[in-house]
């Protein structure tokens, strides 16, 4: 299970020294797998994002990319399997059994570890969601292999090892971690860290079905009912096209309402930097950054946010970043596309009013517009 952390450049020799020849029992491990996460009949988009990343690794290694679909028997699981081909799968491993209707660690770990032990993948990728993190940890410990969590970059070395990069030391450094002497090499990646690949309509190809070999009576955990978190449906930050966020520069929870008002007018989700969550001004599902959500909107407006590295890693994928900050030397101006050096408390209401006027149905009525 020894994961090897590779420090930049000069320590590369350390990795070579740590690498023994892959034990004989792992030499047959080949191909790349992505776990297709489904909950309540929906495939989590992070699974398709990972298929995009997995496809690149598979092409580089010249191996197959397989999707692993685990779920209840029936249409939704089958649809997830077929859909996997549209996101680049060469084949699908399918474990369909009604015991798998609800996610439970025991049954899903059994399904995944059985598949791994029989079909032997060299790399296994999962989304760093609540479900994916739970499953990845138990699969790795059951298989006695290494797992690199919350990766921000995946690549393969010249010798074919998975190079899994993730932030460390509070986000101030990136480290690349290798699982050199064990298989599969496992990694999780948070939603929105990898870009969504284009869906290309393709017919289903090879689907390998595998029995679960586990019965309801064998599972100690029972799901009695599902009660969704009251707030969990409210924030769609990670997948929003427009996001407005506020930071400590706003000075008070009352001023944070200016962010919410602008977001409401332009149809955006609102978010914040971490100190606002720590102060209790905003709920934690709205935090953006390394320990919050990663976002990839078309437009990101950040007001009173300094742009610390832990915030930056969560927003860098945005197409257009507009930063409003009183300090012209604030780090956010190093990566914002448009910088406005001014007091956000004054600018936000003006922006909101301007957008409200511009986006009101009347302003788009050509007859009214010409009559004015
Ligand atoms: C392990 C770890 C994980 C972390 N994870 C995260 C994370 O996920 N997300 C995150 O955001 N942070 C995270 N942080 C915290 C991060 O390091 C910063 O402390 C934080 O992002 C700073 O928040 P801020 O920009 O709102 O506040 P500040 O750094 O205090 O910046 C406030 C900014 O507002 C500007 N300003 C002041 N008044 C105004 C005004 N009237 N109008 C406009 N601008 C104004 C100031 O010039 C300043 O640039 C983490 C830290 C650690 C150690």
Residue carrying structure tokens 């190809």: 205
Cross-strand partners of 173: 168
* Per-residue pLDDT tens over the stretch 176-214: 999 999 999 999 999 999 999 999 999 999 999 999 989
pLDDT score at 3 = 62
- Which of 251, 259, 289, 292 for a ligand 1 pocket mutation test, highest count of atoms within 8 Å of Cβ? 289
Which residues does ligand 1 sit against, CB inside 6 Å? 170-171, 247-249, 273-275, 287-292, 304-306, 308, 310-311, 314, 324-327, 330, 343-345
The yes or no reply on domain 3-8+17-229 and CATH 3.40.50.620 is yes
CATH number of 237-358: 3.40.50.1220
* Per-residue pLDDT tens over the stretch 134-169: 999 999 999 999 999 999 999 999 889 999 999 887
- Which of 274, 303, 321, 330 for a ligand 1 pocket mutation test, highest count of atoms within 8 Å of Cβ? 274
330 CA: nearest ligand 1 atom: 49
Query: Given a cut of 50, is residue 10 above it in pLDDT?
Result: no
pLDDT score at 8 = 44
Mean pLDDT across the chain, nearest whole number? 91
Instruction: Please state the domain extents for the chain.
Output: 3-8+17-229, 237-358
Same fold, 3-8+17-229 and 237-358: yes
309 CA: nearest ligand 1 atom: 17
**3-state per-residue secondary structure call for 158-227:** CCCCEEEEEEEHHHCEEEEEEECCCCCEEEEECCCCCCCCCCCCCCCCEEEECCCCCCHHHCCCCCCCCC
DSSP, res 285: G
């Amino acid at each position: 299970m020894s994961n090897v952390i590779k420090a930049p450049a000069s320590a590369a020799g350390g990795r070579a020294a740590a690498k023994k020849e892959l034990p004989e029992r792992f030499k047959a491990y080949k191909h790349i797998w992505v776990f297709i996460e489904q909950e309540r009949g929906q495939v989590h988009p992070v699974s398709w994002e990972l298929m995009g990343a997995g496809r690149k690794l598979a092409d580089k290694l010249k191996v197959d990319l397989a999707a692993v679909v685990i779920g209840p028997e029936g249409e939704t699981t089958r649809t997830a399997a077929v859909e996997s081909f549209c996101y680049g799968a060469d084949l699908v491993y399918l474990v369909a059994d009604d015991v798998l209707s609800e996610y439970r660690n025991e049954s899903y770990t059994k399904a995944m570890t059985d598949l791994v032990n029989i079909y032997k993948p060299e790399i296994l990728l999962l989304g760093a969601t609540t479900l994916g993190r739970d499953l990845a940890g138990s699969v790795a410990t059951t298989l006695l292999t290494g797992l690199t969590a919350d990766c921000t970059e995946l690549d393969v070395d010249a010798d074919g090892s998975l190079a899994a990069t993730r932030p460390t030391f509070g986000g101030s450094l990136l480290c690349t971690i290798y699982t050199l002497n064990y298989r599969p090499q496992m990694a999780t990646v948070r939603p929105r860290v990898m870009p969504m690949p284009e869906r290309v309509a393709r017919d289903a190809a090879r689907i390998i079905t595998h029995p679960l070999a586990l019965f309801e009576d064998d599972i100690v955990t029972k799901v009695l009912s599902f009660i969704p978190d009251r707030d969990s449906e409210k924030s769609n930050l990670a997948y929003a096209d427009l996001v407005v966020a506020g930071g400590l520069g706003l000075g008070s929870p009352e001023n944070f309402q200016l962010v919410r008002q602008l977001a409401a007018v332009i149809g955006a989700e609102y978010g914040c930097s971490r100190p606002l969550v720590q102060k209790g001004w905003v709920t934690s599902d709205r935090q953006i950054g390394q320990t919050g959500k990663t976002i990839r909107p078309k437009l990101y407006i950040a007001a009173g946010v300094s742009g610390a590295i832990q915030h930056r890693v969560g927003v860098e994928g945005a197409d257009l970043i507009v930063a409003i900050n009183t300090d012209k030397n604030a780090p956010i101006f190093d990566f914002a596309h448009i910088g406005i050096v001014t007091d956000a408390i004054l600018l936000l209401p003006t922006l909101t009013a301007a957008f409200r006027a511009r986006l009101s149905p009347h302003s788009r009525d050509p007859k009214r517009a010409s009559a004015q």
